[in-house]
Amino acid sequence: MNKELTNDQIARFSRHLLLPEIGVKRQSKLCKGSILLVGAGGLGSPAALYLAAAGVGKLGFVDFDVVDSSNLHRQVIHNEHRTGLLKTVSAKMSCQLMNHNVQVECYNTPFSELNGLELVKQYDVVMDCSDNVTTRYLVNDACVLAGKPLVSGSAVKFEGQLTIYNYRRGETKGPCYRCLYPEPPPAATVTSCSDGGVLGIVPGIIGCLQALEAQKLLMEMDDEESVKNNCELLVQKMLLFNAKTCSFRCAKIRGRQVGCKVCGENPVITSLIPEGQSLVCTDKIASTPSDSLQSENRITAKEFEQIILKDSSNSNHILLDVRENIQYNIASVPHAVNFPLKKMEKPETIQAIKDEISKKSSSINDFPIYVMCRRGIASVSATKLLIQNGFTNVKNIDGGINSWRQQVDTNFPLY
């Protein structure tokens, strides 16, 4: 009589048990193991379903967001009936419908300096299924400090990538995230799926592969027996997927860096909050806030509505929409003229704006210009550029079209 697995588990996981590389011993490790998923979205959704189906004993979800209809093309753990429900709760429901034996913990909060380390300590393996750089650095540092392996995935547009960070078994010491990226990148260089878009199946593929590597970690498929069976973990390698060509390639990445701030020989990061200051330098990666502008260069969406009402002919002002053309074509405020931010550093674009104004007034530089984007971030940069180019009457519309929808037109499409 098998003492490691129950009869129900033997029946449920029989296809695993028939694999010589897994068998009873490794399936038992899965059933006793635990995985923390930071994010219950595009990556976390498929990963969690397969982890629950595989019999992982305990899953934890960290996410503060609620299910929105814009999530459903890729976040397959949720559905239309759960719109507005906390993602963690929805994920728990789906996992337990798949496998009622799985224990699921919900943490309805952002992964932060205050809770990160304690959350990570409770689990065997951590999966970074987040969609922002701040969280990536926090999760990485927490995993290093707690000594936990981190399965990290990302997906944007038509591309995805996957690797294992902070692998520490035997003589192998893989890199952490900071070994590859010591400092957060400038905000302008960071693209998330909410900004750049993503083909829904791409995070599905990457999330499934994250679940694969996490299971292999739990099953210890890096021991001598597994190596003889040609098993490898994705350590010191980055798996890259291109959906346009339906192709995979695996690139070697650098190993652990002795000078790394968190996992090196003399780490300077020994706590998630050293001396009360955030270690991720969020000012470098946070979006530029509208309060970086002078008050005379700011206006609310509601205030701009009054401008439109007073100038119904649209002759005494100009509204510049600085989103990319593909976003502008989805929906735009009436009479807005599209000049994407990426093109505004070019002299010919500035001249084109002047030409547009000249259709309304001979007074170019002090003509009222209002600048709008999706969330009031890119428009801040555009406002500053216009001021630098000699325009003296420029106002950023705080919060962009999202605020326009909230304050003025509730029927405006949200994307």
The residues that are catalytic are 193, 373
DSSP string of 222-291, one letter each residue: TSHHHHHTT----BSEEEEEETTTTEEEEEE-----TT-TTTSSS-S--SSSGGGS-TT-HHHHSPPPGG
Rg (CA), the chain: 25
Give the containing element (helix H, strand E) for 82: none
Asked if residue 263 belongs to a known ligand binding site, the reply is yes
C-alpha of 184 from chain center: 14
Asked if residue 74 belongs to a known ligand binding site, the reply is yes
User: Rounded to an integer, what distance in angstroms lies between the CA atom of residue 325 and that of residue 331?
Assistant: 10
> Is there a contact between 396 and 299 (Cβ–Cβ < 8 Å)?
yes
Asked if residue 70 belongs to a known ligand binding site, the reply is yes
> Is there a contact between 208 and 47 (Cβ–Cβ < 8 Å)?
yes
> Is there a contact between 78 and 45 (Cβ–Cβ < 8 Å)?
yes
> Could you tell me the sign of the dihedral formed by the alpha carbons of 36, 253, 177, 261, in that order?
positive
Asked if residue 72 belongs to a known ligand binding site, the reply is yes
Asked if residue 176 belongs to a known ligand binding site, the reply is yes
Q: What are phi and psi of 254, to 5 degrees?
A: -65, 155
Asked if residue 217 belongs to a known ligand binding site, the reply is no
User: Rounded to an integer, what distance in angstroms lies between the CA atom of residue 359 and that of residue 368?
Assistant: 13
Asked if residue 246 belongs to a known ligand binding site, the reply is no
Token pair listed for 365:
């530089």
Asked if residue 3 belongs to a known ligand binding site, the reply is no
* Nearest partner of 157 among 243, 71, 90, judged by Cα: 243
Asked if residue 411 belongs to a known ligand binding site, the reply is no
Give the containing element (helix H, strand E) for 160: strand 159-165
Asked if residue 157 belongs to a known ligand binding site, the reply is no
Contacts of 245 (CB under 8 A, 6+ apart): none
Q: Is 415 helix (H, G, I), strand (E, B) or coil?
A: coil
Token pair listed for 311:
């100038």
What are the binding residues? 42, 63, 70-74, 87, 131-132, 176, 179, 260, 263
What are the binding residues for Zn(2+)? 176, 179, 260, 263
What are the binding residues for ATP? 42, 63, 70-74, 87, 131-132
